[in-house]
C-alpha cells in the first residue's frame, strides 16, 4: 500500500494544476467529441457532462500498471516526490502519458461516449455538448478525504456551469452523477437537475434475435447510493435483451475494488478477484455502467462491455 | 496506554461525523465489509467513541483501505452510517497532516 498522504497530495496538486487527477491538460484528455457527430454545441435542453471519466480510464490504467510494480517495494516511498511534478508543464506530463496509453484503448473508451450520444439522439433527447464545459467532478478528492480540495474544485465547476446558464445535465457515469446530484448542492452551493443518460432513453422496441443473456454488474454508486439499479434493466427489457442476476446485485452489489486502486493496486486485485469469480461462475458476458468497473473487470479477463456499447447494437 | 477523550466525538462533528455515538457495536458493518480486516470499520468507530485519537492516527493508513462501497451503511441497524464515519475520519486525518506537514 502506498502512503495515502502521498497519493492525496499528488492528486490534489494535479487537480489544482490541471483540473483533473493526472496533471495533463483537459484538452488532451478530452478528445472524444472530435469524432462524434450526434450532438450540437447549442441549443439544447441539457448539457452532456461526461466528467472526463471514460476519457481518463486509459490514463488511469497506464498509471496503475506502473504503480502495481512499485507497491510494497523499496521504491513505493518515492511517490512523495510526485509532488515535484508541479514544476513540469502540463503538456510535457501529457506527452509522457500519451506514450504510455495506446490509441486502441482510448478509442475503446471514447467509443462508449459515442454510443451514448447516438442513443440519446435516437431517443429524441435535446442535449448539447461543449468540451469547455465538461470537467472532472473532483470525486476522487472527496473520496480520499481532501475536503478542501474537493470543495474548491466543485465550486469552480459549478460556478462555470452556472455562468453559462446550465441548469440541466446528463451524466454518463455513477461517480460524476453522485458528485453533481448529491455533493454539489451540499458543498458547492449549486444544484443542477441531474439525469444519468440511461434514465432518458426512449428507444423503439426491437426483438434482439440470437442475443445471449448478459449478467449485470451494478456499480456501488448506482446500486446503493443513488438507488438506480432498475433503470439499466428497464432499458434492456425495452429492447427485449435478456439479462440475468448474480447473487450480489442491485442494492447489495459487490464492489469491484476500483475505488482503492489509487492507494493499493494489490488490494484492488484481491477484491476484484472475488467479484470476478462470481461472474465466472455465472458464465454470461457482463454488462456494466461505470468506466472504473468496466476497466477493472476487463483486467480480470472477463468478457465485459458497457451498457451503451451493447444497447447501441440493438437499436 | 491509550488516553481517552469523551469530547473527541464532538470535535469530529466539524468533519461530518455526527452519528458515531449511534453505534452499539453489533458488528454488522465488520461482517459485511469486503475488506474482512481486523474488525474494520467497527474498530475505528469505537476509537471515535472513546476518543482514542492516537490510535486513529497510528492506524490512519487503514482508513484508506475502505472502498467507500456503502455496504456497511446500507446494513447498519442503527443508521450510524459507518461509511460516512470512515470518510469523515479521512477528512480529519488529512486536515491533521496539513496542519503538521512534517508528520
A83-127 pLDDT, tens digit each: 655 555 555 565 666 667 888 889 999 999 999 999 999 999 999
Report DSSP letters for A176-209, one per residue.
HHHIIIIIIIIIIS---EEEEGGGS--PPP---T
Residue A272 has pLDDT above 70, yes or no: yes
Asked if residue B39 is part of any domain, the answer here is yes
> In terms of CA atoms, which chain A residue is nearest residue B61?
A4
Of A4, A147, A254, the CB nearest to B34: A254
- Each residue's pLDDT, cut to its tens digit, for chain B (103 residues) gives 667 788 898 899 999 988 999 999 999 999 999 998 889 999 999 999 999 999 999 999 999 999 999 999 999 999 999 999 999 999 999 999 999 866 5
**Predicted ipTM > 0.90:** yes
Cα separation, A172 vs A46, whole angstroms: 13
| End-to-end CA, chain A | 45
Give the A:B interface size as CB pairs under 8 Å.
68
Domain containing residue B53: CATH number: 1.10.1060.10
Q: Which residue has the cell 475488506?
A: B35
pLDDT score of A76: 60
- B32 in reach of chain A (CB within 8 A): no
Cα separation, A226 vs A248, whole angstroms: 17
Asked if residue B89 is part of any domain, the answer here is yes
Query: Between chains, do B91 and A147 touch, taking CB under 8 Å as contact?
Result: yes
Chain B residues whose CB is inside 8 A of the A263 CB are 64-65
Query: Between chains, do B69 and A259 touch, taking CB under 8 Å as contact?
Result: yes
Asked if residue B29 is part of any domain, the answer here is yes
> Shortest Cα distance from B20 to chain A (angstroms)?
17
Cα separation, A274 vs A278, whole angstroms: 7
Chain A residues whose CB is inside 8 A of the B34 CB are 254-255, 271, 274
- A34 backbone dihedrals φ, ψ, rounded to 5°: -65, -25
What is the tally of structural domains in chain B?
1
Tell which residue, A51, A26, A17, A36, has the closest CA to residue A184.
A51
| Tens digit of each residue's pLDDT (9 = 90 or more) over A134-173 | 999 999 999 999 999 999 999 999 999 999 999 999 999 9
Output the average pLDDT for chain A. 90
> In terms of CA atoms, which chain A residue is nearest residue B14?
A147
pLDDT score of B69: 97
> Shortest Cα distance from B2 to chain A (angstroms)?
24
- Between helices A53-70 and A103-122, what is the axis angle to 10°? 150
pLDDT band (50, 70, 90) for residue A207: confident
> Shortest Cα distance from B79 to chain A (angstroms)?
14
Chain B residues whose CB is inside 8 A of the A148 CB are 95
Cα separation, B88 vs B18, whole angstroms: 9
- C-beta of residue A131 within 8 angstroms of C-beta of residue A27: yes
> In terms of CA atoms, which chain A residue is nearest residue B103?
A5
> In terms of CA atoms, which chain B residue is nearest residue A219?
B69
Asked if residue B45 is part of any domain, the answer here is yes
pTM for the model stands at: 0.94
Chain A residues whose CB is inside 8 A of the B91 CB are 145, 147
- Domain regions of chain A by residue span: 4-199, 214-314
pLDDT score of A74: 66
Asked if residue B71 is part of any domain, the answer here is yes
Output the average pLDDT for chain B. 92
Domain around B74 = 8-97
Amino acid at each position: 500500500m502506498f502512503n495515502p498522504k502521498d497519493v492525496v497530495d499528488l492528486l490534489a496538486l494535479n487537480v489544482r494544476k490541471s483540473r483533473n487527477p493526472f496533471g495533463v491538460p483537459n484538452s488532451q484528455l478530452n478528445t472524444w467529441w472530435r469524432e462524434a457527430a450526434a450532438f450540437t454545441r447549442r441549443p439544447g435542453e441539457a448539457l452532456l457532462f461526461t466528467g472526463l471519466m471514460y476519457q481518463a480510464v486509459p490514463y488511469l490504467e497506464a498509471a496503475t500498471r506502473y504503480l502495481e510494480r512499485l507497491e510494497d517495494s523499496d521504491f513505493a516511498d518515492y511517490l512523495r516526490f510526485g509532488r515535484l511534478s508541479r514544476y513540469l508543464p502540463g503538456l510535457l506530463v501529457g506527452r509522457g502519458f500519451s506514450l504510455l496509453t495506446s490509441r486502441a484503448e482510448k478509442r475503446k473508451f471514447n467509443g462508449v461516449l459515442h454510443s451514448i450520444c447516438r442513443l440519446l439522439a435516437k431517443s429524441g433527447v435535446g442535449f448539447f455538448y461543449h468540451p469547455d464545459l465538461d470537467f472532472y467532478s473532483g470525486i476522487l478528492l472527496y473520496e480520499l478525504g481532501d475536503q478542501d480540495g474537493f470543495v474548491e474544485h466543485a465550486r469552480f465547476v459549478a460556478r462555470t456551469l452556472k455562468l453559462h446558464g446550465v441548469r440541466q445535465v446528463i451524466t454518463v457515469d455513477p461517480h460524476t452523477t453522485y458528485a453533481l446530484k448529491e455533493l454539489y448542492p451540499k458543498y458547492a452551493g449549486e444544484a443542477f437537475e441531474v439525469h444519468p443518460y440511461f434514465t432518458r432513453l426512449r428507444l423503439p422496441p426491437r426483438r434482439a434475435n440470437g442475443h445471449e443473456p448478459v449478467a449485470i454488474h451494478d456499480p456501488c454508486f448506482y446500486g446503493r447510493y443513488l438507488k438506480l439499479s432498475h433503470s439499466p434493466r428497464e432499458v434492456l427489457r425495452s429492447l427485449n435483451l435478456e439479462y440475468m442476476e448474480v447473487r450480489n446485485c442491485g442494492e447489495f452489489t459487490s464492489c469491484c475494488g476500483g475505488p482503492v486502486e489509487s492507494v493499493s493496486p494489490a488490494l484492488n486485485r484481491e477484491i476484484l478477484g472475488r467479484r470476478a469469480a462470481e461472474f465466472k461462475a455465472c458464465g454470461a458476458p457482463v454488462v456494466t455502467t461505470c468506466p472504473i468497473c468496466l476497466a477493472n473487470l476487463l483486467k480480470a479477463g472477463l468478457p465485459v462491455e458497457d451498457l451503451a456499447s451493447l444497447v447501441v447494437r440493438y437499436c | 496506554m491509550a488516553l481517552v477523550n469523551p469530547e473527541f466525538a464532538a470535535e469530529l462533528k466539524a468533519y461530518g461525523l455526527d452519528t458515531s455515538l449511534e453505534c452499539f457495536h453489533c458488528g454488522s458493518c465488520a461482517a459485511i465489509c469486503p475488506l474482512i480486516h481486523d474488525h474494520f470499520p467497527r474498530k475505528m468507530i469505537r476509537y471515535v467513541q472513546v476518543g482514542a485519537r492516537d490510535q486513529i492516527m497510528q492506524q490512519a493508513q487503514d482508513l484508506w483501505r475502505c472502498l467507500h462501497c456503502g455496504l456497511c451503511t446500507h446494513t447498519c441497524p442503527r443508521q450510524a452510517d459507518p461509511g460516512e464515519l470512515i470518510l469523515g475520519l479521512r477528512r480529519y486525518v488529512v486536515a491533521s497532516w496539513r496542519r503538521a506537514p512534517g508528520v
